[in-house]
């Protein structure tokens, strides 16, 4: 999670939004050392405020570094010129890796730019999620209303070329995440520009070209609808800069219908901005949102940020859905609602367990570095880092037909069906209607008893 910036930083899938990297969240820029010329960097070391570092032990340690650097330049066999920029980036990565914190990391300019766009809740590109299958870049799904959807792109389309350049050669040897990021970099671009994609589509698999005019694509992070029995359903997919306004809009549409209870779906939500989490919580109660433990061991209390009166739902019974992909800011919201708000129930599966806070600094060459600055605790001072939050009612995901429910958000029914299958949503609706509670899971992960009325 990121403090105007809390990063979710978990690669839960290789799915990637074109024009962004699907991880992360928020950023604040400070003046910190960036990538500078080797000569400048050799001549001086500076700290985050641009001041010279003069500690003798630091200078001595760096003498060893430069000794190795000079040996590489003098002795390393390299038919092609050395890439000094990548050597510097590699040194930065090695330094951060030595801290043994997976959330403290470095991003090169292209990836950093994609993440900065992502956290703002919009980007310029074609608007499609990408995934990697069998070393090929595949359209996972176009975003509703995006240029990609308007151009007729479909889930499962394989992208062979971007503006005539073969993707296969560009992504060769890369990890799935790196390959998706590289493809996104090639496809994204400024509003109004045109990109030509060469695709193949089953079953014909005959290559064809599609010209797409890029545009600004808003990232949808809030989905809402009314369900049966006066239950309002709200899904938050990430905590971006635009999420609070989207939640306000959703509640202004739902509340006139006088819902008697609410399902808040935070499943598969990787997190996002701390401030946005505080603002979301401000729709549901006033009070403590979380505590942060600073590097000196002190605890800092952070409160909710109160929402406008017309979008507050302080009294409705709420079921919060979480699973193993609910992380960071999503865990802040789930944990705070559990600890602080009466008439709130957590249901689903144990959450991911990311209880650290990162500052994200933009460096002078457009790259960025994420630094873990604190750990956070729920209002009851529970530590969830690497532990996760176990809901009061653990309900494994199930595709058993008896868990038929109305389709929500972007879920679609199986062919020939009108409803979707979702055991966790089914049990949340039954709980809100009758207060019936699910049985404990069996050792195999299923439920001990199955009998949910239609």
**Which are the contacts of 327, defined by CB distance < 8 A and separation ≥ 6?**
8, 10, 12, 269, 270, 271, 351, 352, 353, 354
- The alpha helices in 11-83, defined as continuous H runs, are 38-43, 56-75
Rounded to whole angstroms, the Cα distance separating 354 from 398 reads 25
User: Which residues on adjacent β-strands are paired with residue 293?
Assistant: 299, 375
* Contact by Cβ (8 Å): 7, 23: yes
Residue 61: CA count within 13 A, CB half-sphere: 8
Rounded to whole angstroms, the Cα distance separating 281 from 349 reads 21
CA neighbor of 175 nearest in space, from 183, 187, 185: 183
Q: What is the DSSP letter of 310?
A: G
Q: 3-state DSSP call for residue 19?
A: coil
Rounded to whole angstroms, the Cα distance separating 234 from 251 reads 9
Strands 420-421 and 404-405 turn out to be antiparallel
Rounded to whole angstroms, the Cα distance separating 299 from 295 reads 10
- The alpha helices in 8-50, defined as continuous H runs, are 38-43
Rounded to whole angstroms, the Cα distance separating 71 from 427 reads 64
User: Which residues on adjacent β-strands are paired with residue 188?
Assistant: none
Rounded to whole angstroms, the Cα distance separating 236 from 238 reads 6
Please list the active-site residues. Answer: 328, 339, 354
**Which are the contacts of 306, defined by CB distance < 8 A and separation ≥ 6?**
282, 286, 312
Question: Crossing angle of helices 274-281/243-254, nearest 10°?
Answer: 20
Cα dihedral 395, 398, 403, 406, rounded to 10, equals 100
Rounded to whole angstroms, the Cα distance separating 424 from 323 reads 10
* Contact by Cβ (8 Å): 220, 191: no
Q: What is the DSSP letter of 295?
A: T
Rounded to whole angstroms, the Cα distance separating 122 from 114 reads 10
């Amino acid at each position: 999670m990121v403090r105007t910036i809390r990063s979710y930083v978990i690669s839960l899938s290789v799915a990637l939004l074109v024009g962004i990297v699907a991880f992360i969240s928020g950023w604040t820029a400070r003046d910190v050392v960036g990538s500078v010329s080797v000569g400048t960097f050799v001549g001086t070391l500076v700290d985050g405020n641009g001041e010279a570092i003069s500690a003798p032990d630091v200078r001595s340690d760096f003498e060893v570094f430069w000794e190795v650097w000079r040996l590489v330049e003098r002795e390393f066999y390299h038919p092609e010129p050395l890439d000094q920029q990548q050597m510097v980036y590699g040194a930065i990565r090695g330094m951060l890796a030595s801290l043994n914190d997976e959330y403290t990391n470095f991003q090169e300019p292209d990836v950093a730019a994609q993440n900065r766009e992502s956290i703002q809740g919009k980007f310029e590109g074609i608007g499609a999620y990408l995934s990697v299958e069998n070393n090929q870049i595949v359209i996972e799904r176009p975003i509703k209303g995006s240029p990609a959807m308007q151009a007729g792109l479909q889930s499962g389309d394989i992208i062979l070329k971007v503006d005539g350049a073969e993707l296969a050669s560009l992504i060769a040897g890369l990890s799935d995440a790196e390959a998706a990021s590289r493809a996104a970099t090639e496809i994204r671009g400024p509003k109004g520009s045109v990109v030509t994609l060469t695709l193949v589509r089953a079953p014909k698999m005959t290559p064809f070209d599609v010209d797409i005019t890029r545009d600004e694509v808003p990232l949808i992070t809030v989905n809402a609808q009314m369900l049966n029995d006066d239950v309002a359903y709200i899904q938050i997919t990430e905590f971006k800069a635009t999420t609070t306004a989207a939640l306000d809009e959703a509640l202004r549409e739902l509340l006139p219908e006088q819902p008697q209870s609410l399902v808040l779906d935070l499943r598969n939500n990787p997190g996002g901005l701390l401030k946005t989490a505080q603002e979301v919580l401000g729709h549901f109660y006033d009070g403590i949102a979380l505590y942060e433990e600073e590097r000196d061991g002190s605890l800092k209390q952070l409160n909710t940020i109160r929402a406008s009166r017309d979008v507050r739902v302080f009294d409705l019974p709420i079921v919060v859905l979480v699973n193993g992909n609910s992380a960071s800011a999503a865990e802040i919201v789930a944990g705070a609602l559990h600890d602080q708000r009466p008439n709130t129930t957590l249901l689903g599966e144990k959450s991911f367990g990311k209880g650290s806070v990162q500052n994200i600094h933009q460096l002078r060459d457009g790259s960025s570095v994420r630094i873990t600055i604190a750990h956070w605790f729920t209002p009851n001072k529970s530590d969830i880092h690497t532990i996760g939050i176990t809901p009061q009612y653990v309900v494994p995901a199930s595709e058993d037909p008896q868990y038929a429910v109305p389709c929500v958000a972007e879920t679609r029914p199986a062919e020939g069906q009108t409803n979707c299958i979702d055991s966790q949503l089914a049990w949340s609706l039954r709980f809100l209607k009758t207060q019936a509670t699910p049985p404990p899971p069996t050792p195999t992960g299923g439920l001990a008893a199955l009998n949910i009325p239609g």
